Structure formats: C-alpha cells, structure tokens
C-alpha cells in the first residue's frame, strides 16, 4: 500500500504527532483513517506498522 499525503507533512502539529507516538510506544494501536496524518506520522516515527482502515 502506498499512501500519498494531500498536505505537506512538514505542516503537521508536532505536539499532536508526538502525543500519538507516545500512545503507540505504550502499546496502543489507534486506527488511521484517510485524513489522520498525525497518527500516520506517529506510526512512521515509532517504526510500527499502522493499523489502517481500508475502504473495500
């Protein structure tokens, strides 16, 4: 799966991304939906595969 952001990842709210990363590091696995770039970036930084909800 390839995901292409619709906005510049450099514009993400760092506080929010880091909060999600701490949650992921603590074992939580929040679902990522199409517009949840903060969560997706947090998974990337935590080096954990994201739990992505796909439209079928």
Tell me whether residue 3 is in a domain.
no
Tell me whether residue 32 is in a domain.
yes
Q: For the chain, how many structural domains are there in total?
A: 1
pLDDT digits (tens, 9 = 90+) for 3-54: 666 677 788 889 988 998 999 999 998 877 656 678 878 888 899 887 766 6
Handedness of CA 34, 40, 44, 50 (dihedral sign): negative
- Three-class secondary structure assignment of the chain: CCCCCCCCHHHCCHHHHHHHHHHHHCCCCCEECCCCHHHHHHHHHHCCCCEECCCC
* Residue 24, domain extent: 12-52
List the structure tokens of 27: 């074992």
**Residue-level pLDDT at 15:** 94
Tell me whether residue 5 is in a domain.
no
Angle at 3 (CA atoms; ends 39, 36), nearest 5 degrees: 25
- Which band of pLDDT confidence, cut at 50, 70 and 90, is reported for residue 1? low
């Amino acid at each position: 799966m390839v995901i292409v952001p619709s906005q510049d990842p450099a514009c993400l709210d760092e506080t929010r991304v880091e909060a999600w990363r701490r949650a992921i590091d603590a074992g939580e696995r929040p679902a990522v939906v199409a517009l949840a770039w903060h969560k997706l970036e947090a998974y990337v930084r935590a080096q954990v595969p994201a739990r992505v909800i796909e439209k079928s």
